[in-house]
Structure 1
Amino acid sequence: MPLLLANASLALPVFVQGLALSFGLIVAIGAQNAFVLCQGLRREHVGGVVLFCAVADGVLIASGVLGMAHALGDRPGLARGLALAGAVFLAAYGVQALRRARRTQGLHAAEGAANPGRAAVLAQAAAFTLLNPHVYLDTVLLVGSIGAQQPAALRGWFVAGASAASLCWFGLLGYGARWLAPWFARPRAWQVLDALVGLTMGVLAVLLMGRVFAGF
């Protein structure tokens, strides 16, 4: 019973860490986000696109966490090295986001193109999701290695938090497109969002570095 209570008290922080990490990595101007936003503006196959992107992210995150947990196993040196690399990556990502916050850019999605149909749209969603090399670096390797370092009983909460971020973000883009499109087209909105992402990544980098020096 004490162990269960201890795990329950740690579940929320681990869930929030996965949520913040995944959200910080997924919120960026890119082809996949523009595609989801575009489908939302057209109001065509939105549910299928949102569901596919969210489920694909969830599967990649879970496979990354489970695969990295198996790979790390009894290799504390490797785990420490990956944690250090992850902290450096998050710090660099945060710096890039803060630099983007100083620029003027917006996300635009056209409404006028003809819709090729559900199967073709889902194929496009798969291409935008799975053919992007950054998804394997960010989602599988980085998120997977950080999630794998959580206690075994809490890894599911980390995966749930990271997957929830994807579901919320894609749902927001797809179903809130009509309302969000003018907001996303304004450079100032992305500057604020990038600033928040940069600060979030910085905090996560510091927390991860603390785990490195604490020896996990």
Structure 2
Amino acid sequence: MNYVWDLVIKTEQKGLERKGLYFTPAKVYSPYMELSLPDLNATLVDREIEVNADYRFTNIFDGMFDLDYEECAELRVALFDIMMHFLADVDLSQGMNLREYYIRFILRDIEDGLFGDEVKHGLTLFTRNEREVIAANLLRLYETGEAVYLLKDTMRKLFKRSTIYVNCEEKDELVFYVGQKRTEAVEARIELVRRLFLPVRFVTEIYWEYHFGLLDVEETMQIDRIALY
């Protein structure tokens, strides 16, 4: 990690909030690096981060930490932290296209409870990358209306071994094979996907660890590893 934006991305990938970071002006630093880390190959994120403000932001912080200026030290450090958080947000916004902004808006709406409290809580069960998968497919749903396709696509991306079968002969039914043991956490994750993407007219049947038997598909016809449909 060398840049502030790199640090923020790694923080969010670990499921932590960027507002928990505290930026301070570095006392000892390399002129060739933005972050002043004890370990140059660090992969873990510390809460307190020293930053070499002269690396990219000389015009902003010039003179703020002059060694001859000793007044209001606590205020200047607090302002530095606030400004670095703002600059980190600017860093992360650069390079984003309009679609990525829409995805951020959808995630913000979910987190603000506009999709309901159950969806708001359910979203916390997913990683940052998984949340973006959900939001991106929600955006595609608004654009195309292809709910069944996007339900299958979302399940496939979030649950790697999953498969969804469509049965419309006698009734509109979707049969889910999850490929995982049934736990409260997995159930809650699937319920969120169903709540967001499942068309109203469809009923669902869920198979968890064991697949139901399919003729001529040997993997589904294993003794003691088969479910009845």
Larger RCO: 1 or 2 (CA < 8 Å, sep 6+): 1
Asked if these proteins are the same fold (TM beyond 0.5), I'd say: no
Structure index of larger Rg: 2
Q: Which range, TM-score by smaller chain?
A: under 0.3
TM-score under structure 1 length normalisation: 0.25
TM-score under structure 2 length normalisation: 0.24
